[in-house]
Amino acid sequence: MASQDKPVLVVVGVGGMGQSIARRLGTGKTVLLADFNEDTLNGVVNTLKGDGFDVHAQVVDVSKPESLAALASAAAGLGPVMQVAHTAGLSPTQAPVGAILAVDLVGVAQSLDAFGEVIAQGGAGVVIASMAGQTAQPLTPEQERALASTPTGELAGLDFASEPAVADPGQAYGLAKRANQLRVQAASVAWGKRGARINSISPGIISTPMGQQELAGRSGGFMRAMIGASGTGRIGTPEDIAAAAAFLLSPEATFITGTDLLVDGGVIAALRNGALQMPH
């Protein structure tokens, strides 16, 4: 049974990044882990419990607002919700256009709404976006405003952000990740009224199971070129992302909200200074 006095850390999505964030930040807290895959979730929970963490599990479908509302309510029932990390997402090799838009676009917006209702005074959240949000097909200012401010329940109805306007899973992923950055900016005002902060992190190529799947896919060659051209010259690790999350969720970052932290090893810098060219 969780102590109501302990701060609550919520991690949505228990892939490589989610697990690393839970391990880095979970000591001394009540940890609530959530994922769509019950077997995977239970395996991670049992491992963390064996390592001494106070951890709880709840299955969640981020594409359904009622599922996220139930998760947020469960978190608040465990104690003050001080830290939230939304890491759940689908990559272009994992899912078709519709699923990516439902999980990566609408799901994140619904998570921001749900946890914006329960985040405690002094709390903070992070959303895992992607550097793909900075390389996605350019949007008009009107489209960006629509992604930022359209009521969550109407997002799926935007003509440019739904099938068949979105041509393929790669375009869906880039659009969704740009939307994540924009929704976090907009949500920072509402979260601020509760005395809380919200930011996004845009990872580059990270050595998670999802990242390795992408490297083995159609875009793997260009991804390896990105790594080679970057300033660090290496693939990222889940611990790199956990370190960034730890900073943004900590008292060291109390003046940072509504922003996106690019954690890509220098790939976007290489693109912008001409050291790397996007394929046509």
Query: Would you please indicate which residues are annotated as catalytic (active-site) residues?
Result: 173, 177
169 prior amide bond cis, ω within 30: no
Output 214-222 pairs: Cβ under 8 A, ≥24 positions apart.
214/91, 214/92, 214/93, 217/92, 217/93, 218/93, 219/92, 219/170, 222/279
Give the amino acid at 166: V
**Would you list the DSSP string of 24-40?**
HH-TTSEEEEEES-HHH
Residue pair 66/108 in contact (Cβ under 8 Å)? The answer is: no
CB neighbour list of residue 44: distance below 8 Å, 6 or more residues apart: 14, 19, 22, 33, 35
b/e burial code for range 100-116 (CB count within 10 A of at least 16 → b): bbbbbbbbbbbbbbbbb
Q: Which two tokens stand for residue 135?
A: 């390389």
**Would you list the DSSP string of 42-59?**
HHHHHHHHHTT-EEEEEE
Give the residue carrying structure tokens 């949505």.
12
Residue pair 102/156 in contact (Cβ under 8 Å)? The answer is: yes
